[in-house]
């Protein structure tokens, strides 16, 4: 039972509500009277309501994001119908801007906009003392990061064992990219390093081996970057994995020297490139030195074991299909391990809307507010690019086809050849989701050998190598005629002798 309940709907169970842990940690004397409940967007809203009300709370604070606003709206509606006297407070990026247009805001009692680490506690004190805030919309001042109580002790043992552990060394972003909410977070503010390092040390002691820094610009402050990297390098051990988001064209020698000393796989850098078109970058107020960017990629790939996750965006104002494709080809040539092809989203509060008229930007009215068409990319072309992004994630990013994938674009444009595959797959399947790994592998084999006319033994060997690398030992039936000398495993033979009902599960079993 708790008088104050903090809750949110995470995108997946593996994600932990970092922001809510800050709110709970900073409740001060109210903390013993509060509880934190986490759900995910696959749970039924009415069952979430049941668990919230079981706490018999007086105040419920809900974190609202682009991925959960629809389901959270159902939760708020049911809460106010069942318990009108219950005070519901909303917070989060999705309800910090354009508030007058949102039904969820109308249903709630209060909305705290901005960084509510300290403001939420202030509002709760007033409410529990019988004092109602005079205004429904309550702006939160930027908190002094040195005053904030640390949230890291609120990761419990189950979180440590099964969830992503988020950490941060700074807030804000010095750049003004118009599609991003972080462009509104100026200036960049640093957390005091000594207490942060103490918290990281304690997390390591508790068994945490994977850290995801949510800082938008990890490598902006050279002193902080060096200190954090040296901290993890000094404590590096098998299984350590640290994720940073970095500015692509800033990697001075002092950072390179430390980065090169990490073992392969210990560091992941998320590198937001977004576009290789200088005119598009200028339109969205993004500053980027492409020569330095390429040099940094070459260094990371040739002299380090860093895993590079690079981002490109489809649908930016001024970007055509051809322009995006040329940028994709340039990025392939830089050899990141992953390329996240994202569809432009119109996040509330971002200035990207200033281009709506000139570039005829049409977005979905529903979360996640993705672009539907522009003056340069019509709806049909945008749908093809949407499928491109999905199939790239399944084939290019998954790691399931690491050796086979380059065959798709051998001797051709990676973008054009992969788009050709996407069109062929969609014609065959009529969908882009719920595709078993074995089925996707068989279709890829068919495309490469029958459409691209590549040698069957070469493609079969590549697919078999990929298949085994994923920890699988049962030979897929479609590869068996092309890989003589590899007998089916005992498990596979037993499956093939099973009755017809069980035989239908052979393909799915082979994908595990």
Distance between CA atoms of 11 and 38, rounded to whole angstroms? 11
Distance between CA atoms of 90 and 78, rounded to whole angstroms? 15
What's 4-143's CATH class?
alpha beta
Helix (H/G/I), strand (E/B), else coil: 95: helix
Q: Evaluate whether 276 touches 290 at the Cβ level (below 8 Å).
A: yes
Distance between CA atoms of 421 and 452, rounded to whole angstroms? 10
Regions of the chain with pLDDT less than 70: 183, 185-186, 485-512
In the chain, domain spans:
4-143, 164-344, 401-512
Q: Which residue has the tokens 């908190």?
A: 143
Distance between CA atoms of 260 and 257, rounded to whole angstroms? 6
The sign one gets for the Cα dihedral 416, 470, 239, 215 is positive
- The pLDDT, as a whole number, for residue 184 is 74
- The pLDDT, as a whole number, for residue 486 is 53
Q: What is the DSSP letter of 300?
A: H
Question: The domain 164-344 belongs to what CATH superfamily?
Answer: tm_1862 like domain (3.80.30.20)
Q: What is the DSSP letter of 132?
A: -
Token readout for 222 is: 């050279």
Distance between CA atoms of 403 and 424, rounded to whole angstroms? 21
- The pLDDT, as a whole number, for residue 181 is 83
pTM, full prediction: 0.90
- The pLDDT, as a whole number, for residue 185 is 65
Distance between CA atoms of 405 and 425, rounded to whole angstroms? 14
């Amino acid at each position: 039972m708790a008088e104050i309940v903090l809750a949110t709907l995470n995108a997946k169970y593996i994600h932990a509500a970092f922001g809510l842990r800050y709110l709970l940690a900073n409740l001060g004397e109210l903390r013993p009277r509060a509880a934190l409940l986490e759900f995910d967007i696959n749970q039924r809203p009415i069952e979430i309501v049941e668990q919230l009300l079981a706490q018999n709370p007086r105040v419920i604070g809900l974190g609202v994001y682009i991925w959960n606003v629809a389901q959270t709206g159902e939760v708020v509606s049911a809460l106010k119908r069942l318990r009108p006297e219950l005070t519901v407070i909303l917070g989060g990026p999705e309800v910090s801007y354009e508030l007058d247009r949102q039904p969820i805001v109308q249903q709630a009692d209060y909305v705290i906009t901005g960084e509510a680490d300290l403001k939420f506690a202030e509002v709760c004190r007033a409410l529990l003392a019988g004092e109602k805030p005079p205004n429904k919309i309550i702006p939160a001042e930027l908190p002094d990061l040195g005053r904030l109580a640390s949230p890291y002790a609120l990761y419990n043992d189950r979180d440590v064992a099964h969830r992503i552990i988020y950490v941060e060394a700074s807030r804000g972003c010095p750049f003004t990219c118009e599609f991003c909410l972080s462009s509104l977070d100026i200036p960049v503010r640093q957390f005091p390093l000594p207490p942060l390092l103490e918290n990281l040390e304690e997390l390591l002691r508790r068994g945490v081996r994977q850290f995801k820094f949510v800082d938008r610009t990890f490598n902006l402050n050279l002193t902080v970057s060096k200190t954090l990297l040296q901290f993890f390098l000094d404590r590096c051990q098998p299984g350590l994995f640290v994720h940073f988001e970095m500015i692509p064209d800033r990697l001075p020698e002092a950072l390179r020297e430390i980065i090169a000393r990490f073992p392969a796989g210990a560091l992941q850098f998320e590198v937001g490139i977004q576009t290789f078109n200088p005119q598009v970058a200028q339109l969205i107020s993004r500053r980027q030195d492409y020569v330095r960017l390429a040099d940094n990629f070459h260094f990371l790939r040739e002299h380090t074991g860093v895993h590079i996750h690079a981002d490109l965006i489809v649908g930016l104002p001024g970007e055509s299909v051809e322009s995006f494709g040329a940028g994709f080809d340039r990025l392939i040539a830089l050899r990141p391990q992953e390329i996240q092809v994202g569809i432009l989203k119109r996040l509330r509060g971002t200035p990207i809307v200033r281009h709506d008229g000139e570039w005829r930007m049409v977005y979905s009215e529903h979360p996640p507010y993705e672009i539907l068409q522009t003056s340069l990319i019509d709806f049909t072309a945008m749908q093809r690019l949407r499928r491109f992004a999905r199939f790239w994630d399944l084939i290019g990013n998954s790691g399931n086809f690491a050796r086979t994938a380059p065959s798709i674009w051998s001797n051709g444009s990676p973008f054009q050849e992969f788009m050709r595959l996407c069109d062929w797959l969609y014609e065959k399947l009529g969908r882009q989701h719920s595709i078993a790994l074995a089925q996707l592998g068989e279709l890829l084999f068919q495309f490469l050998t029958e459409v691209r006319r590549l040698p069957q033994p070469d493609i079969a060997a590549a697919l078999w190598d990929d298949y085994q690398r994923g920890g699988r030992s049962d030979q897929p039936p479609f590869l068996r005629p092309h890989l003589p000398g590899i007998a089916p495993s005992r498990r596979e033979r037993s499956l093939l002798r099973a009755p017809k009902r069980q035989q239908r599960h052979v393909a799915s079993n082979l994908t595990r």
